[in-house]
Amino acid sequence: MMPAWLIIVPAAGGVAAWLLGRRNAGWPRMVALAAMAIHLILAASLTLQRPGEAAIAFGGAWLYQFQMEWIPQLGISFFLAADSLSLVLILLTGFLGIMAVASAWNEIRERTGFFYFNLLWVLAGITGVFLALDLFLFYFFWEMMLIPMYFIIAIWGHENRVYASVKFFLFTQAGGVLMLVAILGLYFIHGRDTGVYTFNYLELLGTKLPPATALWLMAGFFVAFAVKLPAVPFHCWLPDAHTEAPTPGSVVLAGLLLKTGAYGLLRFVVPLFPSASSEFAPFAMMLGAAAILYGALQAVGQTDLKRLVAYTSVSHMGFVLLGIFAWNRLALEGVVMQIICHGISTGALFILAGTLQERLKTRDLRRMGGLWPAMPRMGAAMMLFSLASLGLPGLGNFIAEFLVLLGAYRVSAPPAVLASLGLIGSCVYSLRIVQHTFHGPSKEEWEWKPADLSFRETAVMAVMVAAIVWLGLYPQPVLTVVRPSIEQLEHIRTPGDDALRAEWATRALHPRPQAAASGSSGGGGCP
């Protein structure tokens, strides 16, 4: 039952915030903060409670499971499970969820109850994506994220919010439809071959597919996740959505929604279609390298601060795509680190961009400059996270990108070399952010002195600075936690080795005796 509580808490908190918002505009943010704090504590307790069993996460059992029948006639169950990879991503969800609530504290002043309802339901949907092991349930949570984020952008966004929200909806919905078609295709093929019609991920892992069929089904999943990642050329919705979204919306978009695409590639595309993904890997790696270069070049040319940071996400998520399809231990460890570090560093940059916009009433870099004397704390935070974005050694992003490039180079040198050139662009746009905002001559005489970070904003930045520095100086705890899952994932993509894939699925469905004996109460353990 414990995995279900990770979804129930933010969902219930969202409903409570909406109801209480009708009485007092200040209560919803307190409820939202409490809900996400409980969510983070639950995730941390699950991660730390059974570290010794992480070694059997894929080999014999998932660490925590909850399963009950939902629509048994169609083989649909409410099946949630967490391994070490899922738990790390859920920890990130709780952490950035708190940061998003804190960033909305003063920015969201209208319809606060409905806003926090939508924010918490987005976070509940993201948590469900990281936990669902029934493909129908996964699709349900995948779509559940879409509607609340649409409202966040459309209602509380900036000037062109309607255009940006509709564009976001159309792109992500189109990708979701393709994934649904692929899910149904896998469902019917498995049912035809085995007589068992099920959406259970662990059972579908052993499905034997003709090469052409596997390639088409993989393409359906890949496009859906590439849109959300986003990968070039499916990225067009992202700059507009980020530019027009309110600050907490941008934090959740950059820090978490994009990571659901990366998680989908890791959990579903390669494990379900190992042979097809192996054939597709060279093209996908070049696509990742192209995204790194394209995103960096586009970021260099932007004058809108939020749009600039949005294009940096396209570049950084290119490293994720490159590392996933390199598919070795170094690259996959780099992917996990990039997911975490990009979420923290880019989330912080969006918070700072939103704070600047709130004070200056503009996002135009051409109107800024010389702000450091008036805003030294904000300038220091902006400089540190800009340096993290360019991959400065000692900060978490450097570890992530170094591992991805090293792992990719072992598989194929050309995309790794091209990707490394993107680091030059990241230096240009990162230093440009700091130079055009806080240094140089002031380009405009403001009628008021812009205020520096408040105590609440300073506390938020301090926590995020501590996190990104810790990940840069001592990433080993994170790598140790996720290593069991990565080791098992590393051995999946063996072209033509259906026996290995079937054995992996069987071992996951039938746990070892020691795993079953130590199952958690209330739905933990093994199916």
C-alpha 489/C-alpha 470 separation (Å) is 26
Strand-pair partners of 78: 68
- The predicted model gives 504-508 an average pLDDT of 44
Instruction: Output DSSP code: residue 205.
Output: T
Query: Given this model, what pLDDT does residue 448 score?
Result: 65
Residues 6+ away with beta carbon under 8 Å from 462: none
Which range, of 122-126, 131-135, 223-227, 494-498, averages the lowest pLDDT? 494-498
Which range, of 41-50, 155-164, 494-503, 506-515, averages the lowest pLDDT? 506-515
Q: Where are the domains of the chain?
A: 315-474
Strand-pair partners of 76: 71
Give φ, ψ of 445 to 5 degrees.
-85, 110
151 CB burial (10 A radius; 0-12, 13-18, 19+)? buried
- 104-111 contacts: CB < 8 A, separation 24 or more? 104/29, 104/246, 104/247, 104/248, 105/29, 105/456, 106/358, 107/246, 107/247, 107/248, 107/354, 107/358, 108/29, 108/156, 108/246, 108/248, 109/25, 110/156, 111/21, 111/155, 111/156
Higher pLDDT, residue 75 or 446: 75
Quick: pLDDT tens for 251-268.
Answer: 999 999 999 999 999 999
Query: Given this model, what pLDDT does residue 522 score?
Result: 36
pLDDT of 504 above 50: no
Residues 6+ away with beta carbon under 8 Å from 341: 388, 395, 396, 397, 399, 400, 468, 471, 472
pTM for this one?
Answer: 0.89
C-alpha 171/C-alpha 190 separation (Å) is 29
Query: Given this model, what pLDDT does residue 327 score?
Result: 86
Q: Per the structure block, which two tokens stand in for 211?
A: 């090469």
Which range, of 3-7, 384-388, 461-465, averages the lowest pLDDT? 3-7
C-alpha 242/C-alpha 307 separation (Å) is 7
Query: Given this model, what pLDDT does residue 449 score?
Result: 75
pLDDT of 179 above 70: yes
- The predicted model gives 406-419 an average pLDDT of 92
Query: Given this model, what pLDDT does residue 505 score?
Result: 45
Say if CB 230 and CB 172 are below 8 A apart. Answer: no
pLDDT band for position 367 (cuts 50, 70, 90): confident
C-alpha 343/C-alpha 253 separation (Å) is 9
Strand-pair partners of 268: none
Quick: pLDDT tens for 43-99.
Answer: 998 887 754 443 343 334 477 888 888 888 988 999 998 888 999 999 999 999 999
pLDDT of 523 above 70: no
Query: Given this model, what pLDDT does residue 50 score?
Result: 54
Instruction: Give CA angle at 372 (369, 373), nearest 5°.
Output: 115
pLDDT band for position 446 (cuts 50, 70, 90): low
Give φ, ψ of 246 to 5 degrees.
-65, 165
- The predicted model gives 261-282 an average pLDDT of 91
C-alpha 296/C-alpha 422 separation (Å) is 6
Amino acid, res. 286: M
pLDDT band for position 511 (cuts 50, 70, 90): very low
Say if CB 202 and CB 238 are below 8 A apart. Answer: no
pLDDT band for position 353 (cuts 50, 70, 90): very high
C-alpha 140/C-alpha 134 separation (Å) is 10
C-alpha 214/C-alpha 276 separation (Å) is 6
pLDDT band for position 359 (cuts 50, 70, 90): confident
Quick: pLDDT tens for 295-322.
Answer: 999 999 898 999 999 999 999 999 999 9
